[in-house]
Amino acid sequence: MPVALVWFRNDLRLNDNPALRMALEEGYTPLPVYIHAPEEEAGWAPGAASNAWRHRSLQALDVDLRARGSALHLRTGPTAAALQDLLGEADAQAVFWNRKYEPATQPRDAALKKQLREQGLRVESANGGLLFEPWDLATGQGTPYRVFTPFWRAARARWRLPSPWQAPVRLPACDVAAPVTLSSLGLMPKRDWDRGFWDAWRPGEAGAREALEIFIDGALRGYREDRDRPDRVGTSRLSPHLHFGEIAPWRVAAALEQARNAANAAEVEAFLRELGWREFAWHLLHHFPHTADRNLNPRFDGFAWATPGAGTLAAWQRGQTGVPIVDAGLRELWATGYMHNRVRMIVASFLTKHLRLHWLHGARWFWDTLVDADLANNTLGWQWTAGTGADAAPYFRVFNPVTQARRFDPHGEYIARWVPELRGLPAAARFAPWESPALVARLAPGYPATPMVDLAEGREAALAAYRSSGD
C-alpha cells in the first residue's frame, strides 16, 4: 500500500479524525506525524500551560496509536523542511491534515498545499475541529456576522452533524527513523508549576470521552443556572479537550442530542448554544484576523488605556488585588490552569474597566496560563468584556465584582477555597472584607485591608474614559 503522511496538529485523536479517515479510505498506509514549530505561530506561540497539556496529549495519542500497531512520529520545524524529510524517508505519495484557522497558520498551510501539489503529491485538508467552516455562514448581504444571535440562528437552520467515525482497532505499521523524542520538544515547564493541574485533568482522547460522559450524567442537569456558579461543578470542562481536538465538537453535540429528553431539552439547547459561541469566535477570527492583536471596533483605537503602575499588573496576575472574587479566580488559574467562565468575565472586567488596562495584558496572561487557551475564544472573550469587539458588552457595562460574587458564589465557598486567608470570616464578610475592617484585622490579617482600586472610583474613571473616546 502507498504511504501517506497524516499530519496531526490540534486534532489529537483517532476517532472522528477526517484526515486519518481519508487516508485509510483511499487505500494509504498512514504515517502519523506531529511537527513542533511554535515559531510559525507568529506572535501567538502556545503558552506554558498549553504546552504542558500538549505534552501529555501527544503522549496519550502515541499510546493509542501503538495499541493499534502504529506510532506517532515527531519532528521539529521548519514545517516545510520536516515534511519534505518525512516524504523522502517514507517514500510517501500523499499528505492529509485537518485545517487550522489561526491568522498565521492559514497562509502557511495554503502555501504548503500548493508547493506539495506542484511536486505531484496528493494533498488534502479537511474540517476536523468545527461544526461549520468559518466561510460557510454569511449575512443576507454576504458579509461576516458580527453579532452572535443572528449567527446562531443561521447555524441552527443549517444544523447537520457529521456521522461519528470509529478508527480501526488495527492500523497498518509504517516506520521511519525517530530522531526526535517527546521530552526533547521542551513542552514541560522548567519548574514543577503544573503539578496541581493533573489532579483535575486527564489529557487525551480517553480523558475527553470521560469528561463528556461525566457531564451528561451529572452537570447537564441544571446546566442553565449552575454554569454561572463557580462554587458548583456546573460546567462540562470540555474546553481544553475541544481545543486540542481530543474530541470532535460534532461528537459532543451528537451525545447531547442523544441524551435530550423532555426534562433536559432546555439544558441541552443551552449547552449547544455555548458550542455556538465557540463557532462564532472562529468565524470572527477568520474574517477579522487582526483582532488577535487589535480592536475590532476602531472607535477604541485611541482609547486612553492606563499605563500599568509598578506591580499593578503582577498583583492582578497573582490574585493580590484585595478583591476576593478576582483574587480567587486568578489563583484558581495559577493552580489548575483553568478559571470558571463567569469568573473570567469578572476578572477581565476588573482589569479593563476598574484598572483600565489594555485587554491584551489580560489576553496574554490567559494565553500563557490556561490549558484551554484558544486564540479565537480568548480574543472574543477579552474584546467582548473590554467593549472593543463584536457583540461586545457596552462600554457602560462594568461588572461589580462584589455584586457578582454575592450572586454567583452566595456562600463565599469559591472565595474561601482559593483565598484561604478569608476562610475564617463569616460568609457575608468574604465578598467585600474592607467593609469589616475590625473583623479582617482579627481574622484575616494577611489579606489586603483595601482593594488596589476603589471600586466606585475605578468605575467612574472607566466610564469617563469610555465616554471621551467618542461615539
Residue among 359, 367, 418, 434 flagged as catalytic? 359
Residues 106 and 250 in one domain: no
Count of domains forming the chain: 3
The catalytic position among 165, 193, 198, 277 is 277
> Is pLDDT above 50 for 421?
yes
Domain boundary among 229, 260, 287: 287
Query: Are 65 and 111 in a shared domain?
Result: yes
205 included as an active-site residue: no
| 78 and 155 co-located in one domain | no
Q: Which of 152, 382, 384, 434 is catalytic?
A: 382
Domain termination residue (choose one: 259, 287, 315) = 287
Q: Looking at the domain assignment, is residue 278 inside a domain? A: yes
Q: Are 49 and 115 members of one domain? A: yes
Return mean pLDDT, the chain: 95
Q: What is the pLDDT of residue 470?
A: 54
Task: List the catalytic residue out of 198, 305, 334, 400.
Answer: 305
Domain-located, residue 103: yes
Does one domain contain both 65 and 88? yes
pLDDT tens-digit profile of 121-134? 999 999 999 999 99
Q: pLDDT value at position 238?
A: 98
Catalytic option among 274, 334, 400, 421: 274
**Residue 471: pLDDT band with limits 50, 70, 90:** very low
* CATH (domain of 48): 3.40.50.620
| Residue 228 forms part of a structural domain | yes
Does 305 qualify as catalytic in the annotation? yes
What would the mean pLDDT of 346-362 be, rounded to a whole number? Answer: 97
Using the predicted structure, report yes or no on whether residue 391 has a pLDDT greater than 80.
no
Active-site entry in 40, 269, 341, 421: 341
Residue 274 and residue 145 share a domain: yes
How far is residue 74's CA from residue 183's CA, in Å, rounded to a whole number? 11
CATH, residue 158: 1.25.40.80
Residue ranges making up the domain that contains 84:
3-122
**Domain presence at residue 325:** yes
Residues 328 and 263 both lie in one domain: no
Q: For residue 188, is it within any domain?
A: no
Residue 176 resides in a domain? no
* Domain edge (last residue) among 122, 155, 188: 122
CATH number at residue 440: 1.10.579.10
State the Cα–Cα distance between residues 215 and 237, nearest whole angstrom: 8
pTM for the structure as a whole: 0.96
**Does the annotation mark 413 as catalytic?**
no
- Whether residue 168 lies inside any domain: the answer is no
Query: pLDDT exceeding 90 applies to what percent of the chain?
Result: 92
Same-domain pairing of 429 and 312: yes
382 is catalytic: yes
Query: Do 323 and 457 fall within a single domain?
Result: yes
Is residue 72, in this structure, part of any structural domain at all? Answer: yes
Residues 307 and 420 in one domain: yes
Domain check: are 69 and 9 in the same one?
yes
pLDDT of residue 393: 65
For the segment 13-32, what is each residue's pLDDT rounded down to a tens digit?
Answer: 999 999 999 999 999 999 99
Same domain, 328 and 453: yes
Render pLDDT for 100-128 as a digit per residue (tens, 0 to 9): 999 999 999 999 999 999 999 999 999 99
Q: Does residue 362 carry a pLDDT above 60?
A: yes
